[in-house]
Amino acid sequence: MSTVKKDYVRPLDIKNGRVDMGHGAGGRAASQLIEELFLSAFDNEFLRQGNDGAVFAPPPLPAGARLVMATDGHVVSPLFFPGGDVGCLSVHGTVNDVAMSGAQPLYLSASFILEEGFPLSDLKRIVESMAAAAREAGVPIITGDTKVVERGKGDGVFISTTGLGVVAPGVDISGSNARAGDVILLSGTIGDHGVAVLSQRESLEFETSIESDTAALHTLVAAMLQAAPGGVRVLRDPTRGGLATTLNEIARQSCVGMVLEEHAIPVLGQVDAACELLGLDPLYIANEGKLISVCSPQAAAAVLAAMHAHPLGQAAVQIGVVTEDPHHFVQMNTRFGGRRVVDWLSGEQLPRIC
């Protein structure tokens, strides 16, 4: 992003203006869009370098520390939904992907693909939401890029973010670390994000007061790791595909089985009702501010206590245990006393949910 101040005849008309192809062409219009809209919102010393990349001092890296890089594209539809928008989602999503390695996120980059004709006022709202989320998380957006595609070749705004973080020495979190006898924790209710987004879809608009749970989980992760050093083995945020798919991924990666307790899995009444109405299963619905953790049985109580003490983990619960199972099945003891297999999401239950 070029950052040097220029003298423009007219500032951007944010109120009535729209994205045009010139905003992506790399000339004056592009430069003006970046300065007046992106730089003023994201304002930081790295972007102000005005070069093709952002140069920064390496973070403190004690012996045994590692780095982590994660990326996520955000194509949620609609762009604005109860509790958030594509802007804050694009920050939270990637901060969380970095945090799920047990890392402290440091910096983000952002790549925007804008559709010609998109209102600048909506773009400003999204960018300001991103900036606020980045500030709140303490993870600045230090470099970026903007492209524009013709009307009908995009869908308003797509945002791909990439995050860099540091994993402290001794922290070893991976989807492949679960062992039979471990405990499965969930940080709160499931399905809120997916239902909040669905409630705004034109084809199925319905009344609900459910808001997306979109949030940055890295401080929750830090509290959990501190509470039980070495005790947290797996962290994963159950986004696309929901809790069921994420647990199946972990079971497969770790070559274990899982047994869940249906009654223990928290679902808000309104989410349950909406799922009933739409014929959906909350186990497969995306979350954007929840995490699953697999912990050693010795560590579970301390980790759960740390979660309860954090604003984003107050409703944390144990939802099941890890078992030996050559088939790597995720099974669930139902409310009615039966047991069933909880399979992967196999279709396309909810497109463009994040």
Near a second copy in 50-89, by CB under 8 A: 50-58, 61, 65-75, 77
Q: Which of 149, 301, 302, 305 binds a second copy (CB under 8 A)?
A: 149
Please report which helix (H) or strand (E) contains residue 95, including its range.
Answer: helix 86-99
Q: Does 31 bind a second copy (CB under 8 A)?
A: yes
Query: In the complex with a second copy, which residue's Cβ is closer, 269 or 347?
Result: 347
Query: In the complex with a second copy, which residue's Cβ is closer, 162 or 219?
Result: 162
Largest Cα separation within the chain, whole Å, is 72
Q: 202: burial class by Cβ within 10 Å (0-12, 13-18, 19+)?
A: exposed
Q: Does 170 bind a second copy (CB under 8 A)?
A: no
Q: Which of 11, 13, 28, 263 binds a second copy (CB under 8 A)?
A: 28
Q: Does 186 bind a second copy (CB under 8 A)?
A: no
**What does the per-residue mask of binding to a second copy show for 261-290, with x meaning CB under 8 A?**
-----------------------x-x----
Distance CA 262, CA 185 (A): 13
Q: Which of 44, 121, 162, 270 binds a second copy (CB under 8 A)?
A: 162
**What does the per-residue mask of binding to a second copy show for 208-247, with x meaning CB under 8 A?**
----------------------------xx-xxx---x--
Distance CA 72, CA 95 (A): 10
Would you state the structure tokens that stand for residue 194, as one six-digit string? 């997916």
Distance CA 24, CA 63 (A): 43
Angle at the Cα of 196 from the Cα atoms of 194 and 199, rounded to 5 degrees: 105
- Choose the binding region for a second copy from 105-113, 270-278, 301-309, 316-324 (rule: CB under 8 A): 105-113
Distance CA 91, CA 130 (A): 6
Query: In the complex with a second copy, which residue's Cβ is closer, 121 or 253?
Result: 253
Q: Does 258 bind a second copy (CB under 8 A)?
A: no
Q: Does 140 bind a second copy (CB under 8 A)?
A: no
